[in-house]
């Protein structure tokens, strides 16, 4: 009778390969990484004895994998890169200064290994008048493409720039947003999600129309709520995106409403206004 071969549930060679590529500094192994991170965390203590004590405590937890900090902590703690957070969220103002200011900030976050979520609902729709120049806006999706190109450029010298884009379902450009990722080559650094309010879901249940109004409120178009939900379902079936964000529900269950309302999600979690 042949001997039964017991295979590990996890392919440890793959784990080691990914860990080395994503988290090790040159010449490190897991023990050296654990000591680097533990020493950096313990450096916040005010005296040498406390720093030594907590370095050992943290080292024991990390080296034995009883507790693992987030990826950016494992990769960056104790190095010249100061970012220790995996994910952020950025508010965007409907102006050139606001858009390009956020673009610069997001590029820096990407360079330091962070991901960013952006709610583009504040940007005026494609074709809307720009009073300061007399021109027309190119719309949220075009600016998403700008952020996507920036992430590609930064990726040449850093890790992949992960982003989450959200747009309110009653934004005039919602259908363009829903279908933005039907091409595999477009917006490759983004996940996208549609923000569905309670009002829109109620309109869907009652087979009612909703208004897609311009940002300045001067022009509105009526569509059945079911048209939006159908477009989301069809695009998700074809490409796996967009996802859906129920921000009204999230805010109803916000454990810290005194900090502000949730405005969207980054690639990791929900975030609120300051």
Domain ranges of the chain: 12-76, 87-272
List, for residues 17-35, the tens digit of each pLDDT value: 888 888 999 999 999 999 9
User: Closest Cα to residue 158, out of 111, 190, 88?
Assistant: 111
Over residues 168-222, the pLDDT tens digits come to 999 999 999 999 999 777 899 999 999 999 999 999 999 999 999 888 777 889 9
- Mean per-residue pLDDT over the chain, rounded: 88
Angle at 98 between CA 84 and CA 166, to 5 degrees: 65
Residue 136 to residue 6: CA distance in whole angstroms:
65
Which CATH number is correct for 87-272, 3.20.70.20, 1.10.10.350, 3.50.50.60, 3.40.50.2300?
3.20.70.20
């Amino acid at each position: 009778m042949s001997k039964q071969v017991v295979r590990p549930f996890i392919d440890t060679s793959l784990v080691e390969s990914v860990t080395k590529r994503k988290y090790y500094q040159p010449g490190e192994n897991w023990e050296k990484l654990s000591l680097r991170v533990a020493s950096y965390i313990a450096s916040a203590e005010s005296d040498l004895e406390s720093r030594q004590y907590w370095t050992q405590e943290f080292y024991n937890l990390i080296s034995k994998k009883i507790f693992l900090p987030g990826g950016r902590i494992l990769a960056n703690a104790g190095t010249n890169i100061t970012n220790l957070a995996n994910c952020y969220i950025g508010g965007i103002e409907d102006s050139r200064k606001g858009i390009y200011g956020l673009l610069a900030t997001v590029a820096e976050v990407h360079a330091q290994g962070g991901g960013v979520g952006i709610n583009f609902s504040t940007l005026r729709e494609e074709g809307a008048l720009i009073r300061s120049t007399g021109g027309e806006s190119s719309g949220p999706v075009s600016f998403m493409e700008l952020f996507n190109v920036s992430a590609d450029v930064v990726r040449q010298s850093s890790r992949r720039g992960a982003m989450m884009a959200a747009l309110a379902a009653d934004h005039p450009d919602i259908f363009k947003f829903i279908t933005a990722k039907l091409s595999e080559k477009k917006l490759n650094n983004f996940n996208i999600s549609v923000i569905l309010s309670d009002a829109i879901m109620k309109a869907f249940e009652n087979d009612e129309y909703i208004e897609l109004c311009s940002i300045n409120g001067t022009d509105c178009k009526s569509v059945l709520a079911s048209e939006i939900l159908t477009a989301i379902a069809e695009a998700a079936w074809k490409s796996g995106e967009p996802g859906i964000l129920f921000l009204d529900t999230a805010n109803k269950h916000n454990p810290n409403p005194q900090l502000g309302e949730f405005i969207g999600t980054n690639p990791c979690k929900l975030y609120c206004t300051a």
